[in-house]
Structure 1
Amino acid sequence: MLEELSGLGPKTKQALERLGITSLEDLIEYYPYRYELIKR
């Protein structure tokens, strides 16, 4: 469960749960559907 991760606060836990991430396995297997490429 996500409670086992150190440094994870309640707000972060809620944000992850909104994405459907409720376990460490879910977190590892989560791939964003888009990203922004920022070049300098």
Structure 2
Amino acid sequence: GDTRSAAELQPAEKDELSHRRRALTLLAPDLIARLGAHS
């Protein structure tokens, strides 16, 4: 059962990150560009 929870949490976290990234790019494209340049 633990493996199931972990497997479910991993993709969920990735989805949240993707949504956050999209929101950030829409809200602050300048910041994202700066972060991308730094990294």
- TM-score norm. by structure 1 comes to 0.31
- TM-score norm. by structure 2 comes to 0.32
Between the two structures, name the one with larger relative contact order (CA 8 Å, sep ≥ 6): 1
Larger relative helix fraction: 2
